[in-house]
Amino acid sequence: MKRRARVLIDTDIFVVDLRYPRDPRYSENRAFLERVRRGAWVGRTTVYNLMEVCGILSFNLSPSSLQELFIGFAAKYNVTVLFPEDGEEVCFDPVRILGMMERKLSFGDALIAELAERYRRQLDLFVTWNAAHFVDKLPLKVVTPSQI
């Protein structure tokens, strides 16, 4: 039996789905997320992605809706949310993050990239509409939903 690809999904994929139904990429984006939800791929994202999604949508959601989004996110999309290693707080090591920034990554992208690097043996692809931000900066193949 062929192993399902393990995909790390970036914030923008979820934001297009939740906020931009008129985006020209919406149908393709939705089809990708539906394949993840059905289990065609093993979906993962980082706690930093989840917090970015919540932060972006917080301006248009009530406090209870925001809490529902946060609590139900993993089940809604059939993804596992990756956190820093056991016992570590959701925080960051400035030296490691600066090392990521040396690859020309923004702070948020550097946080995500650092977790992607930690979990690289459990991941096959990084899926984002902003592939140019991550190509040759991650230990994973970087693709858009239209490329898989």
Residue with tokens 């931009």: 20
Q: Which pTM was predicted?
A: 0.90
Per-residue model confidence as pLDDT tens digits over 3-42: 899 999 999 999 999 999 999 999 999 999 999 999 999 9
Which residue numbers in the chain have pLDDT < 70? 1, 86-88, 90
Per-residue b or e along 4-42, where b marks 16 or more CB atoms closer than 10 Å to that residue's CB: eebbbbbbbbbbbbbeeeeeebeeebeebbebbeeeebb
C-alpha triplet 90, 91, 97: angle, nearest 5°: 135
Domains of the chain: 6-147 (3.40.50.1010)
Distance CA 97, CA 111 (A): 6
